[in-house]
Amino acid sequence: MTMERELAGKIETRSATIAVIGQGYVGLPLALEYARAGFTAIGIDNDPDRVAGLNFGQSPTPDVPDAELRELLASGRYRATGDFKALAQSDVVVICVPTPLRKSKDPDISYVIAASEQTAVNFHPGQLVVLESTTYPGTTDELLIPMLAQRGATVGETVFVAFSPERIDPANKQFKVKDIPKVVGGATAACTRMAAALYRTIVPDVYEVSSPTVAELAKLYENTFRNINIALANEFAVMCRKLGVSSKEVVDAAATKPFGFMPFYAGPGIGGHCIAVDPFYLSWKMRLNGYEPRFIHIADEINASMPEYVVEMVADALNERQKSVKGSAVLALGVAYKANVGDTRESPALEILAMLQAKGAQVTYSDPWVPSTPIGDTELKSVELTDQRVADADCVLILADHAAFDYAAIVAQAGLVVDARNATWGLEAPEGRIVRL
């Protein structure tokens, strides 16, 4: 029996052991989905506190309820460990580690390198290895496969290698792992077959492409598309404010067209693990190939300018009330990069509040998802959002439109609201009390 047929049989009968490296917002839901499908799933993470919490039934991400985690722990089909030797007992290895940017906006693939090295060290013939971490095109072919080859692996015969981009959207209750089609690109036809067979056990729609590089580029195109369109929405909002109209009203009207249009809305900037990061993986790779991708840099310039624009909105709104930023009490609502999550990575709110602090504002914030966060050189703690605190603020600044906030009550109590998320759209207030992006 060939190794392909043997591995295919294990996948079909759910007797394969699946190790998922990285147990964050991507890796944990994926590992649990495999456990739910009947596989033995091992979650590997190098954070001992996270591993201990997982085995105690404490989920690090709100997308996975503790009760769901505990149920699969009790079934024996899931466990967490920090010991990478577990890879040697696994039939499938899926790499789901972070891929941030350095300060220079060049890719930091140190986590991918470390996970790939551990995978290669613990390789045994007959394994399937899938990279899910968003990365530059060519990573699978240029990094992962050579490491396995150095250990004597023959791609398509003794090891099956593929790239399948993660498509998790934190806090999205409509689309979970099992609801989102998977793109799969294997290093050989056999590799694609193995990876597609694996994902079809948990996802009904699997789209096969011709190579890992195509799959890597598909992910980068998805998020570059969003990055550029958000930049367009942000620039459009600036233009609409100069013309005295609401950009949201304009976009809502345009969105009634049933074809050829997709609505994107303005905000205080972009943040998070993907949209603010992924385009630069593509840009970096293309510069190495002698091409300068212009759209990516124009979009970055626009999006990067939005925090300063929001600060100017606050300053102008205070000036209209004969107040300066210096000494004014600014209460920010939300510091996460998007609604209903606790993730502050690349969040524009942090930059906005740091700039307001530097101008002398007395900054506080309330965020039910983020108990504390560094702002500039200080560590701020989230304050309770009370009617009195809202009323006492010189400016209430909405930076993340969390569902937990009662916007009608906020508008009723606040003397001034600067709404960078259009969360107060449709609410009535005396003229000038609400300033919207």
Residue 51 lies in a domain: yes
Res 239: pLDDT: 97
**Shared domain check, 13 and 76:** yes
Q: Are 347 and 273 in contact (CB under 8 A)?
A: no
Tens of pLDDT along the chain (437 residues) come to: 699 999 999 999 999 999 999 999 999 999 999 999 999 999 999 999 999 999 999 999 888 999 999 999 999 999 999 999 999 999 999 999 999 888 888 889 999 999 999 999 999 999 999 999 999 999 999 999 999 999 999 999 999 999 999 998 887 888 888 889 999 999 999 999 999 999 999 999 999 999 999 999 999 999 999 999 999 999 999 999 999 999 999 999 999 999 999 999 999 999 887 888 888 899 999 999 999 999 999 999 999 999 999 999 999 999 999 999 999 999 999 999 999 999 999 999 999 999 999 999 999 999 999 999 999 888 999 999 999 999 999 999 999 999 999 999 999 999 999 999 999 999 988 888 999 99
How far, in Å, CA of 4 to CA of 125, rounded? 10
Res 179: pLDDT: 87
Residue 20 lies in a domain: yes
**Shared domain check, 188 and 55:** yes
How far, in Å, CA of 343 to CA of 345, rounded? 6
**Shared domain check, 180 and 100:** yes
Torsion of CA 198, 199, 205, 207, to 10 degrees: -80
How far, in Å, CA of 43 to CA of 276, rounded? 27
Tokens of 198: 């694996």
**Shared domain check, 296 and 203:** no
Neighbour count for residue 310 (Cβ, 10 Å): 24
Residue 193 lies in a domain: yes
Q: Are 165 and 183 in contact (CB under 8 A)?
A: yes
**Domain around 265:** 234-436
Residue 222 lies in a domain: no
Instruction: Give every CB contact of residue 93 below 8 A, 6+ residues apart in sequence.
Output: 18, 19, 21, 87, 119, 127, 128, 129, 130
Residue 224 lies in a domain: no
**Please, which residues bridge with residue 409 across strands?**
none
Res 104: pLDDT: 80
Instruction: Determine whether 258 is exposed, middle or buried from the number of CB atoms within 10 Å of its CB (0-12, 13-18, 19+).
Output: exposed
- The sign one gets for the Cα dihedral 29, 339, 399, 271 is positive
Identify the helix (H) or strand (E) that includes residue 9. helix 3-13
Res 91: pLDDT: 98
**Shared domain check, 185 and 94:** yes
**Shared domain check, 203 and 238:** no
**Shared domain check, 257 and 204:** no
**Shared domain check, 262 and 183:** no
Instruction: Determine whether 106 is exposed, middle or buried from the number of CB atoms within 10 Å of its CB (0-12, 13-18, 19+).
Output: middle
Res 172: pLDDT: 80
**Shared domain check, 196 and 109:** yes
Residue 355 lies in a domain: yes
Which among 144, 175, 210 is the end of a domain?
210
- The sign one gets for the Cα dihedral 423, 339, 342, 99 is negative
**Shared domain check, 244 and 199:** no
Q: Which of 2, 338, 417, 383 is nearest to 171 (CA)?
A: 338
Which among 161, 176, 210 is the end of a domain?
210
How far is CA 432 from each of CA 263, 269, 285, 417, 429, rounded to the nearest angstrom? 27, 23, 47, 9, 8
Which among 210, 242, 277 is the end of a domain?
210
Res 1: pLDDT: 60
**Shared domain check, 245 and 168:** no
Q: Are 54 and 90 in contact (CB under 8 A)?
A: no
The domain that holds 21 is classified in CATH as 3.40.50.720
3-class SS letters over 125-190? CCEEEEECCCCCCCHHHHHHHHHHHHCCCCECCCEEEEECCCCCCCCCCCCCHHHCCEEEEECCHH
HSE-CB of 74 using CA atoms within 13 angstroms? 7
Question: Is 274 annotated in the active site?
Answer: yes
Residue 269 phi/psi, 5-degree rounding, is 140, -175
Strands 127-131 and 159-163, sheet pairing: parallel
**Shared domain check, 252 and 181:** no
Residue 228 lies in a domain: no
**Number of domain units in the chain:** 2
Considering only the C-alpha atoms of the chain, give the largest distance between any 2 of them, rounded to a whole number of Å: 82
How far, in Å, CA of 304 to CA of 13, rounded? 50
How far, in Å, CA of 348 to CA of 433, rounded? 23
Residue 227 lies in a domain: no
**Please, which residues bridge with residue 332 across strands?**
365, 397
- From 191, 240, 274, 395, the catalytic residue: 274
